[in-house]
């Protein structure tokens, strides 16, 4: 066993002994409807889906519903236009908004930079439209969280043309979000600082590194997970999944443990056993996002499933959960504390993977609806009667002809084709979403487990 790594975590846990942790309290109360509003970065659905995984595993009895209200290519003015039909129609209790990447008008930057007048005009329009949008959301919804936009990577040494100056403009958008947060008393999350920091640190090692992606605009899975981490940090999410502190007696173990019930504790013949039901599950991390764990202390700060076993005699101990061998630890490591959340072979983590699968199925199904909305809000506004799909198809064929020289022809061609294929099944797809959401809260209910800690000969 890699005792050094375990002991390093144990030392981190020791520093928390005198610190009063926040009681596990959800940001979103049970019954909350949370709309995530934005452009393609939100429409991609990753950071918001990762957040749902966190809340579904940490607060399994607090049923909430997340809605993806992102539209590819959208700007603050677009949010105003679709406010009633696409956002307030969900009757949200909370709204989380990130916008700016398209508002700055990236084509004004780079080698063929436009005049400062045009850049300032774009930012002034952004300020006016975001002020109007937040004002409406604050009045109609109440609970609003503003996200300072994710970065445009203008420092990576990669082939994609570098539209230098775009992120400087986005930082001004970030300042506008802070101004509006103070004006309207909203929550605020800063994505710019952490993404820029990681980029800077990693690019010192490899100039071609990017936390965003080859297009400099859309974060990859690891980048989205960093955004998830920062959201949890800025909204003061709780650290502990559970805290199992096993003392000499059952009463003492029950007293010192947190977010868990300890039962039937027994110790004899160098074997300690106890039954336990934790009230939360560890939060899983997708394979595509795991690189982020080398940049952020997610498990230490927001995913600590502590097992601390005191009064063991020196030696090595095998940890079994439900008769499955998890790992071997020293008495010293167990006494100080280990984080079970980093062990993917525990029954708890395996159950959490089922929660992740349920969240991903919801995201994939919801993506069908978001693609329909993209076409409707960005391409069909000129067609008053959209009830006849044959008429819509003819309209989109003509519309596609006008987009041939725009640089995204193949993207629009694919979106238009999918729209015709899937629009007819929209009602059926919409019916699936609440059922998939309910599944999340069926597979996330914690189960009792039998722990056995057995000393090696």
At 188 the three-state DSSP class reads strand
Report the alpha-carbon distance of residue 8 to residue 229 in Å, rounded.
21
> By percentage, how much of the chain surpasses pLDDT 90?
90
> By percentage, how much of the chain surpasses pLDDT 70?
95
Indicate whether 19 pLDDT > 80. no
More confident residue, 16 or 253: 253
Tell me: the pLDDT tens digits for 152-196?
999 999 999 999 999 999 999 999 999 999 999 999 999 999 999
DSSP string, 38-49: ESHHHHT-HHHH
Confidence of residue 23 (pLDDT cuts 50, 70, 90): low
> Which strand ranges, in their side-by-side order, compose the sheet holding 94-98?
65-70, 33-38, 94-98, 143-148, 187-190
Alpha-helical runs (H) found in 206-325: 221-234, 250-256, 298-302
Residue 321 β-bridge partners: 324, 451
CATH class, 27-237 region = alpha beta
Residues 6+ apart with CB under 8 A from 398: none
DSSP string, 140-169: HT-EEEEEEPPPP--S--SSS---TTHHHH
The angle, 0 to 180 degrees and rounded to 10, between the axes of the packed helices 389-402 and 409-422 is 180
> Span 442-453, mean pLDDT?
98
Q: Dig out the tokens for 180 from the structure.
A: 């509006």
Among the listed residues 179, 172, 207, the one whose alpha carbon sits nearest the alpha carbon of residue 101: 172
Q: What is the biggest distance separating any 2 CA atoms in the chain, rounded to whole angstroms?
A: 80
CB 64 within 8 A of CB 30: yes
Report the alpha-carbon distance of residue 414 to residue 171 in Å, rounded.
33
Report the alpha-carbon distance of residue 189 to residue 178 in Å, rounded.
9
> Span 31-47, mean pLDDT?
96
Domain extents for the chain?
Answer: 27-237, 240-350+445-455, 364-442
Report the alpha-carbon distance of residue 161 to residue 173 in Å, rounded.
22
> Which strand ranges, in their side-by-side order, compose the sheet holding 260-268?
260-268, 271-278, 449-455, 316-321, 324-330
Indicate whether 17 pLDDT > 50. no
- Residues 229-240 as b or e (16 or more Cβ within 10 Å = b): bbbbbbeebbbb
CB 296 within 8 A of CB 3: no
Indicate whether 83 pLDDT > 80. yes
pTM score above 0.75:
yes
Indicate whether 26 pLDDT > 80. yes
Q: Residue 86 has what pLDDT?
A: 97
Q: What are phi and psi of 291, to 5 degrees?
A: -60, -30
Confidence of residue 8 (pLDDT cuts 50, 70, 90): very low
Residues 6+ apart with CB under 8 A from 193: none
> Span 17-34, mean pLDDT?
71
DSSP label at residue 354 = H
Q: Residue 349 has what pLDDT?
A: 98
DSSP label at residue 282 = P
Tell me: the pLDDT tens digits for 269-304?
899 999 999 999 999 999 999 999 999 999 999 999
**pLDDT, mean over the chain:** 93
Report the alpha-carbon distance of residue 242 to residue 244 in Å, rounded.
6
């Amino acid at each position: 066993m890699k005792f050094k790594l375990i002991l390093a975590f144990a030392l981190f846990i020791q520093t928390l002994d005198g610190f009063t942790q926040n009681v596990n309290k959800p940001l979103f109360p049970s019954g909350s409807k949370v709309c995530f509003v934005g452009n393609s970065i939100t429409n991609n659905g990753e950071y918001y889906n990762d957040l749902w995984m966190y809340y579904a595993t940490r607060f399994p009895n607090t049923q909430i519903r997340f809605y993806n209200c992102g539209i590819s290519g959208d700007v603050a003015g677009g949010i105003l236009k679709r406010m009633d039909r696409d956002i307030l129609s969900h009757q949200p209790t909370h709204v989380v908004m990130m916008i700016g990447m398209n508002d700055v008008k990236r084509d004004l930057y780079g080698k063929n930079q436009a005049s400062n007048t045009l850049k300032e005009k774009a930012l002034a329009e952004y300020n006016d439209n975001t002020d109007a949008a937040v004002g409406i959301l604050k009045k109609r919804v109440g609970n609003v969280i503003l996200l300072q936009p994710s970065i445009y990577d203008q420092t990576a040494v990669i082939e994609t043309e570098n539209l230098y100056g775009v992120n400087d403009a986005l930082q001004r958008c970030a300042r506008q979000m802070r101004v509006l947060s103070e004006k309207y008393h909203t929550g605020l999350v800063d994505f710019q600082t952490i993404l820029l920091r990681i980029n800077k640190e990693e690019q010192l090692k490899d100039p071609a590194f990017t936390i965003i992606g080859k297009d400099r605009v859309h974060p990859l899975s690891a980048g989205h997970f960093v955004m998830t981490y920062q959201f949890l940090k800025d909204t003061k999410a709780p650290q502990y999944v559970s805290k199992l502190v096993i003392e000499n007696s059952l009463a003492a173990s029950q007293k010192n443990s947190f977010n868990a019930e300890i039962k039937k504790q027994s110790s004899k013949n160098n074997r300690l056993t106890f039954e336990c039901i934790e009230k939360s599950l560890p939060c899983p991390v997708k394979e595509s996002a795991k690189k982020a764990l080398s940049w952020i202390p997610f498990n230490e700060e927001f995913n600590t499933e502590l097992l601390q076993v005191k009064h063991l005699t020196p030696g090595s101990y095998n940890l079994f959960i439900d008769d499955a061998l998890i790992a071997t630890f020293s008495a010293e490591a167990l006494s100080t504390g280990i984080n079970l959340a980093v062990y993917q072979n525990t029954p708890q983590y395996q159950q959490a993977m089922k929660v992740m699968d349920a969240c991903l199925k919801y995201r994939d199904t919801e993506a069908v609806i978001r693609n329909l909305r993209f076409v409707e809000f960005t391409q069909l506004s000129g067609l008053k009667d959209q009830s006849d799909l044959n008429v819509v198809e003819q309209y989109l064929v003509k519309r596609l002809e006008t987009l041939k020289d725009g640089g995204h022809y193949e993207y629009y061609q694919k979106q238009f084709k999918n729209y015709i294929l899937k629009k007819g099944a929209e009602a059926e797809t919409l019916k699936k979403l609440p059922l998939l959401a309910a599944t999340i809260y069926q597979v996330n209910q914690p189960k009792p487990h039998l722990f056995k800690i057995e000393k090696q000969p």
